[in-house]
Amino acid sequence: MNTFGRLFRISVFGESHGDRVGVTIDGCPPGIALDMGDFVNDLSRRKSGAKGTTPRIESDEPEIVSGVFNGFTAGSPITILFANKNTRSTDYNFTHKSRPGHADFVANRKFNGFNDPRGGGHFSGRLTLALVAAGVLAKKILKGISINATLKQAGGMDNIEEAIDKAMLQGDSIGGLVECIISGLPVGLGEPFFDSVESLISHAVFAIPAIKGIEFGSGFRAAEMFGSEHNDPFVDEYGKTKSNYAGGINGGITNGNDIVFRVAVKPTSSISKPQETFDFDNKKSTTLKIKGRHDACIALRVPVVLEAVAAIVLTDLLLVHHSTQPFALKD
């Protein structure tokens, strides 16, 4: 459902044009310093307003409702809210003409017509604000571990700005490729089988709207490689490897080398160009012209969200890792 994590557990809630969106973070260790300033950088990286992003501008100030006391996490659940102010719901009245690529159709069917359809409702990218806020806290817990995601390509081109300009001119949108690199992790995070590092990261990553694929290390290239080429030779006693086709993970467990993964982001589904769709009320094909305000390249805003979910997963795995350490030391 809308909850994720075993020991460090986040729950998201809210709708795009509802009152507020928010997140509750349970299981955060006490004593982590946290103030408003901690959120500024990541929230502004996620924010729209730059060329290629939606002109809907929100102030996105986090309101901490619980779980922080005298500037430190208190051990109790931390709830953070964000107000939705700059909404124009009249732009989004498409219940009978479900927007292609969006969740309008499935949300209507799944929730029997009771869902909030405005701006995609609960399925909106606005909910990624909740993920980024939780990520800010997770990154603070992961002291000494660096997590960096960057947009490597947009519309298949390295020259990202040019690609976006071209798409905007045509009232169209483009996808992108984002890479994330994580350094400084200890050996041994992750669990065999269902709590493998790849399982948990991919689980969380596909909660981000618009992601179509994920690959670790060599990724899809691995399908074309020889084993003699793909195997990463160990070169020191700490597990450092010569190459890193494994992407820092063996058997689902971190091996101390950088975790590397890449995701494919689809082009924003909302475009200004007219589109074919089906009129579900009148049961006939029709043409849809979306007004609203959209990102030409939603991938621009994905890196900070990707870092956030990676940080959330790794914090959870780090806490799980700690749980058995006292036994390891003793025996």
Nearer to a copy of itself, 90 or 328 (CB): 328
Give helix 302-330 / helix 197-205 axis angle, nearest 10°. 150
User: Cα(208)–Cα(4) distance, rounded to whole angstroms?
Assistant: 13
Does position 73 interact with a copy of itself (CB under 8 A)? The reply is yes
Applying the rule CB under 8 A, the residues between 258 and 297 that interact with a copy of itself are 264-271, 273, 275-278, 280, 283, 285
Nearer to a copy of itself, 44 or 274 (CB): 274
Does position 48 interact with a copy of itself (CB under 8 A)? The reply is no
Among positions 46, 53, 60, 127, the unique one binding a copy of itself when judged by CB under 8 A:
127
DSSP one-letter code for 70: T
Measured CA distances, 249 to 162, 189, 241, 245 (Å): 35, 9, 11, 9
Nearer to a copy of itself, 44 or 235 (CB): 235
| Residue listed under structure tokens 């994580």 | 182
Cα dihedral 304, 310, 316, 317 sign: negative
Nearer to a copy of itself, 27 or 44 (CB): 27
User: Cα(39)–Cα(146) distance, rounded to whole angstroms?
Assistant: 17
- Hey, is 179 helix, strand or coil? strand
Does position 132 interact with a copy of itself (CB under 8 A)? The reply is no
Does position 51 interact with a copy of itself (CB under 8 A)? The reply is no
Residues 5 and 131 sit within 8 Å (Cβ to Cβ): no
Residue 63 CB, nearest approach to a copy of itself (Å): 8
Nearer to a copy of itself, 183 or 244 (CB): 244
Nearer to a copy of itself, 183 or 206 (CB): 206
Does position 162 interact with a copy of itself (CB under 8 A)? The reply is no
Cα dihedral 242, 247, 253, 258 sign: positive
- HEC secondary structure over 280-323: CCCCEEEEECCCCCCCCCHHHHHHHHHHHHHHHHHHHHHHHHHH
- Hey, is 178 helix, strand or coil? strand
In this chain, which stretch among 43-51, 53-61, 86-94, 174-182 interacts with a copy of itself, using CB under 8 A? 174-182
Does position 125 interact with a copy of itself (CB under 8 A)? The reply is no
Among positions 41, 44, 148, 323, the unique one binding a copy of itself when judged by CB under 8 A:
323
Applying the rule CB under 8 A, the residues between 294 and 313 that interact with a copy of itself are 299
Kindly give the pairing relationship between strand 249-250 and strand 275-279.
unpaired
Residues 147 and 182 sit within 8 Å (Cβ to Cβ): yes
Nearer to a copy of itself, 104 or 307 (CB): 104
Nearer to a copy of itself, 44 or 51 (CB): 51
Does position 254 interact with a copy of itself (CB under 8 A)? The reply is yes
Among positions 81, 136, 142, 304, the unique one binding a copy of itself when judged by CB under 8 A:
81
User: Cα(267)–Cα(3) distance, rounded to whole angstroms?
Assistant: 27
Closest CA to 11 of 147, 145, 105, 122: 122
Residues 133-152: x/- map of binding to a copy of itself (CB under 8 A)?
A: --------x-----------
Residue 184 CB, nearest approach to a copy of itself (Å): 16
Residue 167 CB, nearest approach to a copy of itself (Å): 7
Residues 65 and 232 sit within 8 Å (Cβ to Cβ): no
